[in-house]
A and B are shown apart, each in its own frame.
Chain A
Amino acid sequence: METLSHLAHGFSVAFTPVNLMWCLLGTTLGTAIGVLPGLGPALTIALLLPITYQVAPEASFILFAGIYYGAMYGGSTTSILLNTPGESATIVTALEGNRMARSGRGGAALATSAIGSFVAGTLGTLGVAFLAPVVVKFALSFGPAEYFSLMVLAFITVSAVLGSSSVRGLTSLFIGFVIGMIGVDLQTGQPRFTFGMSQLLDGVDVIVVAVGLFAVGETFYMASRRYAGKDEIVPLKGSLYMTAVEWARSWKAWLRGALLGFPIGALPAGGAEIPTFLSYAIEKKLSKHKEEFGTVGAIEGVAGPEAANNASAAGVLVPMLTLGLPTSATAAIMLSAFQSYGINPGPMLFMTQANLVWGLIASLFIANIILVILNLPLIGLWVRLLKIPAPQLYAGILVFATVGTYGISQSPTDLVILYLLGGAGFLMRRFDFPTAPVIIGMILWPLAETQFRRAMTISNGDWSVFYTHPLSLTLLTLAFIGLIGPHIWAYIEHRRRRGPEHVPGDA
């Protein structure tokens, strides 16, 4: 099999001592930031982007991938012991996991989530290795029109279909578009959206946007909510070894979660929320211990969603590597790391950068092994991180935020933009606007424009390319259905029930 020989080659890249060290560093850092509330993989990778000027692409992507996977493992620890899900994908883990911890079975919950993450992460990475070449073959037939339509579909799915409101999701996306347009238009050399300021000619760096929204915005939000209830760490009780019964209840849930998570993550829609919620619903339905759900905590309700979460994280890498299509904030920032090396992710990546791609995929297998070791025997170490008091934690995050942004340009203008975006991030958090579409929008909109222009140049200015090519038409139709469908569905439901009850402005 071709893939196997590629993988063997990838392992020869990943198994060099230097790359193993990057993998270990990435997974350790990833677990730490996953455990710490307020820090996530998107923010961490953004802060580390300057490393792309220092080291080879293989090294920095192995580091970033380790952080990405590590944060998934670490996030579940926080959900189980603290009941504050670090990110939307671990909300479901908190549902049952925290109940298990409260009823003295925290050890088993942590074990099933770490081993489940390992099983699903490994299956998901195998999925990447075998699915990616297939997608590449398919994607080689894509023209600019198809790429543009695919991006339109991704815009709709990441902003309008997922999340609580399509209008707010799209608003976030368009804010990202505005930020992405700032700077000089590469094709004609015209400055756009610069308000006559020379500092804006180079555009706004994705580091500034990610750090502003995720670090500064989050700090403001946490400061504003000091009156809200304090979370309490559930002390770690119970053996980390699962009993035979717990194994028997877990393994099927892991496999089901992985089978659910990977395909959904690999769709150009992304999002780990849907597979985790689906997995939870399925496990609850199939379980022989329904009475444990919502009371003392059912182990299937941790094992399934946690596996789905990790498998979908692996799945997200498929459209990112094969099509250059990021569907999460972290993937979008990784894409900008590719750009910083002058590498264009897409089908050609697998031919021109075989070392990088297969080395990266191989390092993901290694990362999974390191992570299960880091997260089971060493769990006590990570639990201690949860005890860092909030004042010093958030003040420290902002010190690093300053290093990350001021360091790239030494320009106080960047700090001003950073803090303004922090204010915006606070409002978005407070008023329930999703932040990931901002990052995806700012990275992907200029790329969509390039593809659009290419398509129009090839077709000699004829707009019909977008709807006469069957594939392009299909993608645009899907996007349209994604935009309109849920509203029509809601309207029909509303009419059917004829409920006079007013749902406050769920626009």
Chain B
Amino acid sequence: MSTTDQQAARPRLAVPELLIGIGLLACAGAVAWQTLSIPVSPLYSKVGPTVFPYITMVGMTILSLLLIVAALRGGWQPEEEKETPTDWKAMGIVAVGLVANLVLIQPLGFTAASVIMFVLICHGFGSRHPLRDVLLGLILALAAYFGFARALGVNIGAGFIENQLNTGLDSIIRMLRG
């Protein structure tokens, strides 16, 4: 709230909120496009496959319009959030870490890609000990790979590191069995 001319101050348009409203309206548009492209079913059914998509489409449109109105009337962001500057650099580094993981997980395997992501995210959060982070990331990724993935039976992409360790483990198990 501004301290001066409280009476005259018309609520100002809130740009970030407006963008969110417009973005959601675009989503509603995409929903409409997808709803209209659902082919009419050749199978008979009392309620076709389009009824609920239509409800979703109408709801999304109304809600995004209401949000745009709210944005034009000054937005809804809590004061506390507005006053905290966003650390774009930190977020950017975290995002780079995620993209690196996405790109590298197939060629390098889970562990190597995870270590790179781990180090980048730690850096984004302000850690300045890259070597220690590499070590921590490696331990954690291997723990996740062997403890979690193998125990849960989910098959996670194995790369160079995992294959070496898997063959190592298997040969140890074979040795133990004599």
Contact = CB atoms under 8 A, between A and B. Distances in A.
Contacts of A175: 27
B74 A505 contact: yes
B105 interface: yes
B178 interface: no
A167 interface: yes
Contacts of A378: none
B84 A174 contact: no
A50 interface: yes
B65 to A, nearest CB: 10
Contacts of A391: 121-127, 133
B7 A500 contact: yes
A193 B78 CA distance: 34
B171 interface: no
Nearest to A51: B152
Give the interface SS of chain A, mostly helix, strand, loop or mixed. helix
B101 to A, nearest CB: 6
Chain A, interface residues (CB within 8 Å), range: 35 or more
A188 B153 contact: no
Given A419-B98, A427-B20, A395 B149 contact: no
Interface string A175-197: 10110010001011111111100
B47 to A, nearest CB: 4
A431 B75 CA distance: 10
A165 interface: yes
* Chain B: number of interface residues, binned into ranges: 35 or more
Nearest to B120: A395
Interface stretch (A103-111, A222-230, A266-274): A222-230
A407 B149 contact: yes
B167 interface: no
Contacts of A181: 52-53, 56
Given A224-B90, A225-B87, A415-B105, A407 B121 contact: no
Contact of A410 (B20, B152, B155): B155
Interface stretch (A113-121, A255-263, A332-340, A445-453): A445-453
A452 B84 contact: no
Given A167-B67, A181-B52, A432-B77, A174 B59 contact: yes
Contact of B56 (A174, A227, A410): A174
Given A185-B49, A187-B45, A412-B105, A227 B85 contact: yes
A161 to B, nearest CB: 16
B56 A178 contact: yes
Contact of B77 (A222, A223, A412, A431): A431
A189 B86 CA distance: 45
A198 to B, nearest CB: 15
Nearest to B43: A188
A505 B75 contact: yes
A408 B153 CA distance: 10
A12 interface: no
Interface of A: 48, 50-51, 53-54, 165, 167-168, 170-171, 174-175, 177-178, 181, 185, 187-195, 216, 219-220, 222-228, 389-392, 394-396, 398-400, 402-403, 406-408, 410, 412, 415-416, 419, 422, 426-427, 430-432, 445, 448-449, 452-453, 456-457, 460-461, 500, 502, 504-507
Interface of B: 7, 11, 14, 16-17, 20, 24, 27, 30-31, 34-35, 38-39, 41, 43, 45-49, 51-53, 56, 59-60, 63-64, 66-67, 69-71, 73-78, 81, 84-88, 90-91, 93-95, 97-99, 101-102, 105-106, 110, 113-114, 117-119, 121-127, 133, 136-137, 140-141, 144-145, 148-149, 152-157
